[in-house]
Structure 1
Amino acid sequence: MKKIYVLDTNVLLHDPKAVYAFEDNDVVIPAVVLEEIDSKKRLADEIGRNARYVSRLLDGFRSVGHLYDGVPLEGGGTLKVELNHRSFQKMQDVFSELNNDNLILAVALNYHQEEQEKEEPKPVILVSKDTLVRIKADVLGITAQDYLSDHLVPLPDMYMGCVTLMVHPSVIDEFYSYRKLSVTSLNLKYQLHPHEFVILKDEMGTTKSALLKVDSEGRKLEPLYLSNDPIWGISARNAQQRMALELLLNDDIPLVTLTGKAGTGKTLLALAAGLMKIEDEHKYKKLLIARPVVPMGKDLGYLPGEKEEKLRPWMQPVYDNLEFLFDTKKPGDIEKILAGMGSIQVEALTYIRGRSIPGQFIIIDEAQNLSRHEVKTIVSRVGEGSKIVLMGDPEQIDHPYLDASSNGLTYVVERFKDQSVSGHITLERGERSHLAADLL
C-alpha cells in the first residue's frame, strides 16, 4: 500500500535529494518548508548549499507539472507542495503556538485525519530529524520517523578495526614460529578486512596471546611493524593506541580514520606521528591540521583580528597538544616555534576547499561534524604522496542535522573498511587522566 510522507525542512537541508528516497510513495512538502528553505539559501555553509540545491530541484520539477497538483517521481511516487492542508484549527487545543514546526505538524495531522475517513486510508508518516517534532507528532497520533536513508549502520555495529579471537594455543605458537598466519587457518565464518587488527587469546584460559594485523589483501596475518618505542616523547599506553600508531606511521596507508571518546589520545597520537614523518623522516613536506568551525553551545559570533587570531579559539585543542609535544614553558612560545619551523600549518576547513594538497600529512580533527558531501570534498583534495587522517567521536556531534550514523566520519569508516588504502581503529580507553577516564 502506498504511503504519504510529509517532510520536515531539516530533512531537505540534510539531504537535498531526499525526495527520491521514498520509492513509489507520495512525498508532501508543506508550503512553510519552502519559506524556511528560502531563509537559508544565502548561507555560505553546507546548509546554504543544500537550500540552493533544493530550490533548483523544485524549480526543475515545474517543467513537469504543477507542484500543487503533484508531479511524478522516478520511483513511481509523486511530489507535491501542499497548500490546502495547512489549517491550524485542529492543532490549537494541543499546541497553540503558531510556529513553523506546528504548521508542518498541522499539515501531517490534516492529511492523517482526511485519510482516516476513506475506505482504504493511506498511512501518513511525518519524517523529521527533529526529535521534539517527532514526539509532538506522536502526541497527535501521527506516525513519525527519523530520516534513515543515509544511515549506514547503528553506532554499536560500526566497524571497530580490531577483533579478539579465542583460538587453540597451537595457533598462537604457529604464529610465533613462522611470524605469519593464513586467515583461512582461523576457520572464521566472516571475512577480515585489510589492515584490521586481530588479538589472539588462548581458549584454554592461559595468558598466552598475540597481536597481529591483516595484510593489505586480507589474506595473511602479520606481526605489527612498529615496536613500542616513544614517538616524539609519546608511547602507546594501551593496545588500541599501539594499533593507531601502526596505521599512522605506515606510508602505504594513505587514509587513516580514528574514532573514540574525548581523552583517548586521537589528536596527540596523530600529531606525534605527523611530526615524526615530517621533521625526522622528511617523508612529507608539511603537516596540515584542520577542523570544522562548529561551535559547542552558543556561537561566539564574528571574532576580531587577522585570520590566525580568528581561528585560535576554534583551534585551541590542537595548540594544546602541540604545546605538550614541544614542551613549551611560556605562553606564546608555540607560535614562535611554529613560525620558525614553517612546516606546520593550522587551518579551518573553510580554507581547504578548492585546493590540491600533494606531499602533505593532513589531519582533520572533529570530522564527525562533517557531512558526507563535505568529507568527500576534503578527501578529494588529497594529492599525490599525501596522507590524510580523519578523527573524531561519532557520539559527540555539534552539527544540527547530523547524528552518529549519518555523519561524514562514520561514512568514511564504513565505506573504506574493505579498501587496501585505508585503515581504522576505535580507541576505547581514556588516557587523559584518572578523572577524565572515570567520567568516560
Structure 2
Amino acid sequence: MEFKKKLFILDTNVLLTDPHAIFAFQENDVIIPIAVIEEIDAMKSRNDSIGFNARYTSRLLDKLREQGRLDEGVFLETGGILRIDIDRNNHHIPEGLAQDKMDNRILSVAFSAKDNLKDRYKKIILVSRDINMRIKANAFGLDAADYIKDKIEYESSYVGMLELKVSPEVINSFYAKGYVKLEGHNLHANECVHFRSGNQSALGIYKKEKDLIEKLVFQEVTPWGIRARNREQRFALELLLDDNIKIVTIVGRAGTGKTLLALAAGLYKVIDEEVYRKLLVARPVIPMGRDIGYLPGDKDEKLRPWMQPIYDNLEFLLYGEESGKKKEEAHLSVEFLEQKEFIQIEPLTYIRGRSIPHQYIIIDEAQNLTRHEIKTIITRAGKGTKIVLTGDPEQIDNPYLDENSNGLTYVADRFKDIEIAGHITLIKGERSPLAEIGARIL
C-alpha cells in the first residue's frame, strides 16, 4: 500500500516566525507538540514580533478548536489534519538527552510518531528553524527540515540594477531624446540601468508603464547637502525622491549610506518641498549581542540607545563631520525638528494598528522583520504615504530569520514588477576606508 500523505511535526520557532505555517503543508497532516504550546504561552506577553506571533498563533488554534478536540485532530482548509500531541510520559526521549528540556520534549513527539505512525505516512518530518534541533534529530535517525516557505535565495536575488553594453548610437539617442526603447531585455519596474559603450556611459531607469528607459530626473538634486558618491547611490536617490514610487527597498552592507540617503531624502521632501506632512522613522528594538536589561528613565530616555544610529545620521545632516559646532547643539536641533513635528522617531512596535497618511516613512534595520511584520507596516500606509525599507540581510539579529527568509529580502523580490515600487542594492562603502574593508572581508 502506498501512502500519499506526509506528517510534519512543528517546532516552536516555526510558529513564532510564521503562525500561518499551520496551513503551509498542503494536504499533509501536522502535529504540534504540547511543549510548543507551553513555549508559545510563555512568549505571549512579549511586546515584540515574537510576542505578536505567539498571540496570533494562539488565536488561530483557538479558532480551530471550535471544530473539535485538538488532541483528536481537526481538519484544515488545506485538506490535512492538525493535532496537538500530549505525549504525557516522554517515554521516547533517548538516553543522554535531558528529560525536562523543551526541545527534547518536542523531539520526543517526533520519536513517538516515527515508532507508532510510520505505517500511516509516506514520510515523518520534524520542521525547525533551529539548526541544533535539526542536528539532534538527524543524529537520532529522524528526518528534519528547515521551514523554507517564501524563502528567497539572497545570493541570486534581485539587485535593482542592470548594466548593458550598447552601441554609441543608443547612448547618443538616449541623451538627445531623454529616453530609449530597447527590445529583448526583461526589465523590472523602476529597474535602474547603466549603459556602457567604450568610454561613453549613461544612467537611466526603466518605466514599465511606458516601456521606456528614461534619464534620471534627480541627478542634480543634493537633499540636505548629500550628493551621491557612486552609481548605486545615484539610483537610490532617484527612487527616494520620486513621489510616484511609493515603496523603496534599499539593501547594502554597513557604511554604504542606506540610512543617511533615506533620511536626507525624507527631510528634503517634508521640509523643503512640503510633499509630506511628517518624516516618521522607526526601527525594530532588537539588541545585538547580550541584552543589558531594563534602562532607566522615561520612554524617550529608554529608547534613545536603540534609536541612536538615527540621531547620529540626523546630526551629520544638520552639522556635517567638518562642522566645528558641538554635538550638544546638534541634539537641540534634532529636538527642534521633533518639537515642530517635522520628524518623529519611534520603535516599530508603536506603528501596529495605526493608519498613517501623507507621511514619509523610513523603516531602518528592516532585515530583522518577518514578512508578516513587513505586511503589517505596508498596510498601515494611508493616502499619500511613501515607505522606505533599509537594511543589510547579512547582519540579522532576529534569531528566527536569515538572509533568505527576512521580510526585506522578501519584499524586494515580490515588488520588483510593481510600478509604484523600486529597489537598489548599494555595494560600495562610503563611511570610511576602514569601514569598507571591515564590511567586505570580515
* TM-score of the superposed pair, with normalisation by structure 1: 0.91
Q: Please report how far the alpha carbon of residue 265 of structure 1 lies from its aligned counterpart in structure 2 after TM superposition.
A: 0.2
Aligned pair 1:55/2:58, yes or no?
yes
Aligned pair 1:335/2:337, yes or no?
no
Query: What amino acid is the match of 1:199?
Result: H
What does residue range 334-373 of structure 1 map to in structure 2 within 5 Å?
334-341=330-337, 342=340, 343-373=342-372
Query: What amino acid is the match of 1:101?
Result: D
Q: Please report how far the alpha carbon of residue 357 of structure 1 lies from its aligned counterpart in structure 2 after TM superposition.
A: 2.6
* Aligned pairs, number: 429
Partner of 1:112: 114
Secondary structure, aligned partner of 1:64: coil
Task: Give the alignment partner of residue 308 of structure 2, picking from 298, 312, 316.
Answer: 316
Partner of 2:429: 430
Q: Please report how far the alpha carbon of residue 147 of structure 1 lies from its aligned counterpart in structure 2 after TM superposition.
A: 0.8
Q: Please report how far the alpha carbon of residue 121 of structure 1 lies from its aligned counterpart in structure 2 after TM superposition.
A: 5.9
| Distance in 2 between residues matched to 1:356 and 1:218, nearest whole Å | 32
Deviations 1:226-246 (A, max 9, x none): 234543222111100010011
Partner of 1:27: 30
| Distance in 2 between residues matched to 1:154 and 1:67, nearest whole Å | 36
Aligned pair 1:384/2:379, yes or no?
no
Partner of 2:374: 375
Secondary structure, aligned partner of 1:124: strand
Task: Give the alignment partner of residue 65 of structure 1, picking from 63, 68, 71.
Answer: 68
Q: 1:224 to 1:13 in 2, by over 3 A?
A: same
Q: 1:439 to 1:86 in 2, by over 3 A?
A: farther
| Distance in 1 between residues matched to 2:52 and 2:260, nearest whole Å | 33
Partner of 1:419: 418
Segment drifting more, 289-298 vs 333-342 = 333-342
**Contact 2:195–2:202 (Cα < 8 Å) also in 1:** yes
Task: Give the alignment partner of residue 267 of structure 2, picking from 270, 275, 281.
Answer: 275
| Distance in 2 between residues matched to 1:284 and 1:61, nearest whole Å | 44
Query: What amino acid is the match of 2:374?
Result: V
| Distance in 1 between residues matched to 2:64 and 2:190, nearest whole Å | 46
Q: Please report how far the alpha carbon of residue 197 of structure 1 lies from its aligned counterpart in structure 2 after TM superposition.
A: 0.5
Q: Please report how far the alpha carbon of residue 216 of structure 1 lies from its aligned counterpart in structure 2 after TM superposition.
A: 4.6
Q: 1:381 to 1:75 in 2, by over 3 A?
A: closer
**Contact 2:315–2:331 (Cα < 8 Å) also in 1:** no
Q: 1:301 to 1:240 in 2, by over 3 A?
A: same
Q: Please report how far the alpha carbon of residue 97 of structure 1 lies from its aligned counterpart in structure 2 after TM superposition.
A: 5.6
| Distance in 2 between residues matched to 1:178 and 1:63, nearest whole Å | 65
Deviations 1:32-88 (A, max 9, x none): 111111212223333223222322332333333332332222222211212348634
Partner of 1:237: 229
Segments of structure 1 that go 5 or more residues without pairing to the other structure are none
Query: What amino acid is the match of 1:240?
Result: E
Q: Please report how far the alpha carbon of residue 330 of structure 1 lies from its aligned counterpart in structure 2 after TM superposition.
A: 1.8
Segment drifting more, 4-13 vs 370-379 = 370-379
Deviations 1:394-435 (A, max 9, x none): 221112222223322223222222112111111111111111
Partner of 2:129: 129
Aligned pair 1:41/2:44, yes or no?
yes
| Distance in 2 between residues matched to 1:71 and 1:352, nearest whole Å | 35
Deviations 1:141-188 (A, max 9, x none): 21111111232x21123221111123344333332343211132xx22
Secondary structure, aligned partner of 1:61: helix
Segment drifting more, 338-347 vs 232-241 = 338-347
Q: Please report how far the alpha carbon of residue 257 of structure 1 lies from its aligned counterpart in structure 2 after TM superposition.
A: 1.3
Query: What amino acid is the match of 1:260?
Result: G
Q: What fraction of aligned residue pairs are identical, expressed as a percent?
A: 53
Deviations 1:219-278 (A, max 9, x none): 001111123454322211110001001111112212211111111100111111122223
Q: Please report how far the alpha carbon of residue 358 of structure 1 lies from its aligned counterpart in structure 2 after TM superposition.
A: 2.6
Deviations 1:61-120 (A, max 9, x none): 333333233222222221121234863455114x3463111111122123224456x4x7
| Distance in 2 between residues matched to 1:354 and 1:66, nearest whole Å | 32
Aligned pair 1:201/2:196, yes or no?
yes
| Distance in 1 between residues matched to 2:384 and 2:56, nearest whole Å | 34
Aligned pair 1:171/2:191, yes or no?
no
Task: Give the alignment partner of residue 280 of structure 2, picking from 267, 288, 307.
Answer: 288
* TM-score of the superposed pair, with normalisation by structure 2: 0.90
Q: 1:242 to 1:101 in 2, by over 3 A?
A: same
| Distance in 2 between residues matched to 1:224 and 1:84, nearest whole Å | 63
Segments of structure 2 that go 5 or more residues without pairing to the other structure are none
Aligned pair 1:299/2:291, yes or no?
yes
| Distance in 1 between residues matched to 2:136 and 2:69, nearest whole Å | 31
Q: Please report how far the alpha carbon of residue 387 of structure 1 lies from its aligned counterpart in structure 2 after TM superposition.
A: 2.1
